[in-house]
């Protein structure tokens, strides 16, 4: 049963649920998805503090100070960061203070060190304007009771720091969906095996393992199986702790395209067996006991596009993400796309910004069995179904890939 891409995506997304949660040491949380909403139990900063090395004082007293008419104050305290000062500033006095130290009681401003001269036990203030602006106030960034980081947030460097501010040493994160990868095909050998005539190395499992990781999943490499129903079925049954099972190869109509038979043998209910996209038309999807089984094409570029369009959103949902889709923009073709398109087509591309436009160029070598075009791509052009060849200057829709 062949289905439209949007229908296939809906079927798969409706089938999966968000993974359970686990607690993980904060230092291991980068790129994990936060499994709880974190509320602050304190103000931050927790006290009024100085953003400068200088003198804490009463701002009004020094507002008119200039180098010609300095205001002289008596130094009454010395406050390094980490102290909790008790001596209040009074008229005619100042406290030496370090960046990050709490303001002493009654201080209403800070003058930076460069605008002062020490004279024995006193300090001359040479420029006094704006002293009241030099305070970081308690709670100015976060207030007690504030929801600071929402469940489903991707933990980037900023979030890592914020979770530390809030004392979350072992936050809840969503467990990563475990994705079993199997390469099928009697011509496929492991990467470290000698190549003999007729054989090729298993590149799909490595390409897909990177795509799995990028979508927030954890790969379990189950190796490869030859074109034999029992062998493939056996390998699929060796990873009962996985949530999603992805095979490549054997998804089309050839004599050795066996994935459909494997599903039958294992009692996996078939959801669809073709999706109207190019490349990546042959895709089987099945389910058994709440687990998802996907049979992608053996052709590397086709497997990559099917994964991108069908498996990635599913893993993003399972991994606890709130947004499952990549950003899309409009761009102008800088070189033509010469093929007419029947089914919706995805074309590896590079896009770049010029003074007036975003331009995009299809990568060379778009063959379904080829990988070079995917290697240098920072984007994918989406060509609608039933499109004629597209000349230079056509506006096209472009999916932006990260990290490229
Ligand atoms: N008569 C028809 N033939 C084909 C059709 C069709 O509609 N009618 N569709 C073509 C399209 S489109 C595709 S895509 C492929 C899909 O074939 P399969 O999914 O059955 O994949 P295989 O035949 O097993 O392999 C295709 C190709 O990819 C190489 N391959 C396989 N596994 C790996 C791997 N792990 N690493 C690297 N390369 C791999 C394999 O050697 C083949 O060259 O079918 C067309 N045929
Ligand atoms: O559908 Mo095939 O997947 O064109 O490459």
Task: Flag whether 240 is in a domain.
Answer: yes
How much is the average pLDDT of 198-206?
Answer: 97
Radius of gyration of the chain (CA): 31
Contact 38, 44 (CB under 8 A): no
- Sequential DSSP letters for 101-162: PBPPTT--EEEEGGGEEEETTEEEES--TTGGGS-B-TTSSB-TT-EEE-TT-B--HHHHHH
Q: What's the structural domain count of the chain? A: 4
Instruction: Name the least confident of 182-191, 272-281, 395-404.
Output: 395-404
Question: Is residue 181 domain-shared with residue 257, that is, in the same domain?
Answer: yes
Contact 291, 21 (CB under 8 A): no
DSSP-assigned letter for residue 339:
S
**Three-state secondary structure call for residue 62:** helix
| C-beta of 204 in contact with ligand 1 (< 6 A) | yes
Residue 310 confidence (pLDDT) above 70: yes
Q: What are phi and psi of 216, to 5 degrees?
A: 95, 15
- At 175-195, the pLDDT tens digits run 999 999 999 999 999 999 999
Residues 6+ apart with CB under 8 A from 333: 359, 360, 361, 381, 390, 391, 392, 393, 394, 395, 396
Task: Flag whether 156 is in a domain.
Answer: yes
CB atoms within 10 A of CB 155: 21
| Per-residue pLDDT at 403 | 61
DSSP-assigned letter for residue 177:
P
Question: Is residue 168 domain-shared with residue 71, that is, in the same domain?
Answer: no
Domain limits at 162? 22-41+149-174
| Residue percentage of the chain with pLDDT more than 90 | 94
- At 348-369, the pLDDT tens digits run 999 999 999 999 999 987 777 7
| Residue percentage of the chain with pLDDT more than 70 | 99
Closest C-alpha to ligand 2, atom 3: 280
User: 5 C-alpha vs ligand 2 centroid, how far in Å?
Assistant: 14
> What CATH number is given to the structural domain containing 222?
3.40.980.10
* Structural domain ending residue among the three candidates 103, 133, 163: 133
Task: Flag whether 49 is in a domain.
Answer: no
> What CATH number is given to the structural domain containing 369?
2.40.340.10
| C-beta of 282 in contact with ligand 1 (< 6 A) | yes
Q: How far apart are CA 232 and CA 239, in angstroms?
A: 12
How far are the Cα atoms of 279, 379, 387, 399 from residue 396, in angstroms, in the given order? 18, 12, 11, 10
Task: Flag whether 99 is in a domain.
Answer: yes
* Residue 154: both structure tokens together: 């991707």
DSSP-assigned letter for residue 364:
S
Q: Which residue has the tokens 């054989």?
A: 199
pTM: 0.92
How much is the average pLDDT of 205-211?
Answer: 97
Size of the chain, expressed as the number of residues it contains: 404
> What CATH number is given to the structural domain containing 72?
2.170.190.11
Question: Is residue 286 domain-shared with residue 188, that is, in the same domain?
Answer: yes
Q: Which of 223, 235, 249 to mutate to test the pocket of ligand 1 (most atoms within 8 A of CB)?
A: 249
Question: Is residue 193 domain-shared with residue 275, that is, in the same domain?
Answer: yes
How confident is residue 217, by pLDDT bands cut at 50, 70 and 90? very high
| C-beta of 295 in contact with ligand 1 (< 6 A) | no
- At 30-74, the pLDDT tens digits run 999 999 999 999 999 999 999 999 999 999 999 999 999 999 999
Residue 109 confidence (pLDDT) above 90: yes
């Amino acid at each position: 049963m062949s289905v439209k891409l949007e229908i296939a995506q809906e079927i798969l997304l409706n089938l999966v649920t968000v993974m359970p949660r686990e607690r993980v040491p904060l230092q291991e949380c980068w790129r994990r998805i936060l499994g709880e909403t974190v509320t602050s139990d304190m103000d931050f900063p927790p006290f009024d503090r100085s953003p400068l090395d200088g003198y804490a004082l009463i701002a009004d007293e020094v507002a008119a100070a200039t180098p010609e008419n300095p205001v002289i104050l008596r130094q009454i305290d010395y406050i390094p960061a980490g102290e909790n000062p008790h001596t209040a500033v009074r008229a005619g006095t100042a406290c030496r203070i370090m960046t990050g130290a709490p303001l002493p009681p009654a201080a209403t401003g800070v003058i930076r060190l460069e605008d002062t001269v020490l004279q024995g036990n006193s300090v001359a203030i040479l420029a006094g304007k704006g002293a009241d602006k030099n305070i970081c106030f308690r709670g100015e960034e976060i207030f007690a009771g504030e929801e600071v980081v929402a469940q489903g947030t991707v933990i980037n460097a900023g979030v890592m720091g914020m979770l530390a501010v809030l004392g979350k040493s072992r936050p809840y994160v969503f467990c990563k969906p475990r994705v079993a990868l199997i390469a099928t095909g009697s011509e496929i050998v492991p990467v470290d095996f000698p190549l003999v005539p007729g054989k090729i190395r298993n590149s799909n499992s490595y390409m897909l393992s990177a795509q799995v990781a990028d979508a927030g999943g954890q790969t379990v490499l189950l190796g490869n199986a030859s074109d034999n129903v029992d062998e493939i079925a056996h390998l699929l049954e060796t990873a009962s702790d996985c949530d999603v099972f992805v095979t490549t190869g054997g998804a089309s109509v050839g004599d050795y395209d066996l994935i459909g038979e494997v599903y039958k043998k294992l009692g996996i209910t078939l959801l669809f067996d073709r999706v109207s996209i190019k490349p990546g038309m042959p895709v089987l999807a099945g389910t058994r006991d709440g687990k998802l089984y996907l049979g992608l094409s053996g052709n590397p570029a086709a497997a990559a596009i099917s994964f991108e369009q069908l498996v990635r959103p599913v893993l993003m949902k399972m991994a606890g993400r709130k947004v499952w889709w990549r950003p899309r923009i409009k761009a102008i073709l800088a070189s033509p796309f010469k093929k007419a398109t029947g089914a919706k087509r995805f074309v590896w591309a590079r896009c770049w910004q010029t003074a007036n436009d975003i331009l995009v160029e299809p990568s060379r070598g778009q063959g379904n069995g080829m990988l070079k075009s995917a290697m240098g791509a920072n984007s994918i052009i989406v060509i609608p179904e039933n499109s004629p060849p597209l000349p230079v200057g056509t506006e096209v829709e472009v999916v932006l890939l990260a990290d490229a």
